Amino acid sequence: MVTIHGDCDDRFDGVRKAFEENFSTRGELGAAVAVTVDGTTVADLWGGHADEARTRPWERDTLVNAWSTTKGIVALCAHMLAGRGLLDLDAPVASYWPEFAAAGKQDLPVRWLLSHRAGLSGPREPTTGDDLLDWELMTSRLAAMEPWWEPGSRSGYHALTYGYLVGEVIRRVDGRTVGHFLREEVTGPLGLDFAVGLPESQDGRVAELAQEPPPAGSEQAEIYARMHPAAIAALANPLFGAQGANAPAWRRAEVPAANGHGTARAVAALYGIMACGGSWDGRRLLSAEAVERARQGQGSCVDLVLGAGFGGETEIALGYWLSGARASYGPNPRAFGHDGYGGSFGLADPEAGVSIGYVMNRMGSLIADDPRKMALIEAVYAAL
């Protein structure tokens, strides 16, 4: 039996039970979950182990790589610049990043980067894990690249390239990298434990990721044979998982699509900014209008990268996935959020005033809607 630590309002005791069941029946190793309602924390729980050998307990301040849950936090930074009048989401990317005009991309608007509609889901050149750590290399390749499909025509999940694309626009507009902007404008002033580019001094707090083994060679080859080249580029160029993400070099780098390290408490607060109309802890970061703009759907379709196997049509807003008919972020179809590779997620529901942050170190096999995630969301909404 795993001991669950932290606090939970009596009304949300079902969240504690669902969290416990994640350990007893869903294979959880170490994890944390936090829930806020109207900016007030109603659940802040953690438990299990921070390493696969189960020698280190998961502590209140344990950090873990949240993978693509980071993408929604990068989107927050872009929307803050838009709110200040410094970034026009309808302007061509090339107006901020001139090199991006290559290969017919001169008119491609910023909003298509945020909504995964740019056709740049993965590199065309063979890419290594070390390449991902080289910002100039990755951004120069993407600037020169010809899109895999007609930009704007549909979404195709930009699994790793999203962070370089949106991040380079942020850098060109503001002068700071995503990690620096986030620290100086958001997490520092709000006292939130989340970083893109983690200092070495914090390594002792980081949980070790554990991952299920990949499919056998023949099975993997069969999977790739069914995939669009844009999907292979997005998900397998390079193949990257827990082993690479446990390396210190990954933690130091800024890979804004995938290497944010933080606590569930911080994730709940960062998505809580959106759930609370743009404010958190007495500080306004976005206008209510900017929050509404962030969750404007950009067109429903079967995602070219994730495919029909993901569950049919989905819709991405400006940096976030909409809950939609799948109820990926609860029963409100206009709630929104982002999942991370293996199970983590952040959720914002402005109508309910709810935000949720969940992080863990045993990575499941699903790209999104992990059973642990869905059990926690169900418990939260049952309590409202």
Between CA 122 and CA 106 the distance in angstroms is 19
274: pLDDT confidence band, cut at 50, 70 and 90? very high
Residue owning tokens 């404007």: 296
Alpha carbons within 13 A on the beta-carbon side of 303? 22
| CA 309 to each of CA 208, 303, 314, 368: distance values in angstroms, whole numbers, following the listed order | 30, 10, 11, 11
Between CA 191 and CA 168 the distance in angstroms is 25
283: pLDDT confidence band, cut at 50, 70 and 90? very high
In this predicted structure, the answer to whether residue 279 has a pLDDT above a threshold of 90 is yes
Please provide the average confidence, as pLDDT, over all residues in the chain. 96
Between CA 373 and CA 103 the distance in angstroms is 40
Residues 6+ apart with CB under 8 A from 256: 70, 71, 74, 162, 163, 164, 166, 167, 178, 179, 196
The domains of the chain are located at: 1-52, 63-264+277-357
Between CA 281 and CA 269 the distance in angstroms is 9
The residue from 24, 68, 115, 201 that is catalytic is 68
Angle at 231 between CA 227 and CA 232, to 5 degrees: 75
Q: Greatest CA separation found in the chain?
A: 58
What is the pLDDT, as a whole number, of residue 366? 83
For the segment 308-331, the average pLDDT, to the nearest whole number, is 91
**Whether residue 344 lies in the annotated active site:** no
Instruction: Record the tokens describing residue 384, joined without a space.
Output: 């409202």
> What pTM did the predictor assign?
0.97
Domain 63-264+277-357: homologous superfamily in CATH: DD-peptidase/beta-lactamase superfamily (3.40.710.10)
- Percent of the chain's residues with pLDDT above 70: 96
